[in-house]
Structure 1
């Protein structure tokens, strides 16, 4: 069975998603979030969802933003290291909660924890970033977007 690329089947819908993603990027910038933090969250969400295509795209962007191979390598176990600062830890915890949707009591406890670190603008921008990344992961997974060898 050949892949069914949703972005090609309904280009106007995909263009609207891209437009929303551009607004999310603007909100992240306005909130003062670094490109590195934005890509760190994008990679972590894509790891949780198992989206190879998005992992390829955002790992490349993360490394270009200055991320180290060491931190990238331990990202799935970020809680077990001291390599991530307080803001990064809050952003990763929030993104994981939005992606995995734990029980309501746990989600509320996470929100209280991360709001002690993140400003309202950071919280909102990171929430939209995780929501947007989850949507793009699902488009790429459903479409079976391939990871092609790079020249």
Structure 2
């Protein structure tokens, strides 16, 4: 078990979230019941997929998502959980290093970072580059971002 996997399990423990392994409907890899503080993961996933699915499912708990069949809300929850998980699995320093090392090739970068391509793409979605500055989780308004990094 890697340090990041231990970190995710510690997050679950701190949140009182029980992690189960078992069959899931519709070919899913993971599912969460936030009201019961339970996440179920499909057994037999390879390490990168397991890590990313767990981070995503913990995102649903952290963001207090209530399952819905209403398409737009469901899509927004899935995107938010994926971004939440990506921000727990990838640091900006690691991203910067791997982006340079792999010349921005997303597949090679994801492999190097130990995450799935979709997780890396979710991380990239929360970055905004303006000139020589990268903003993490930018929002409307001056000074509204989680992190500001000068890159040049």
Q: Which has the higher helix share?
A: 1
Say yes or no: TM over 0.5.
no
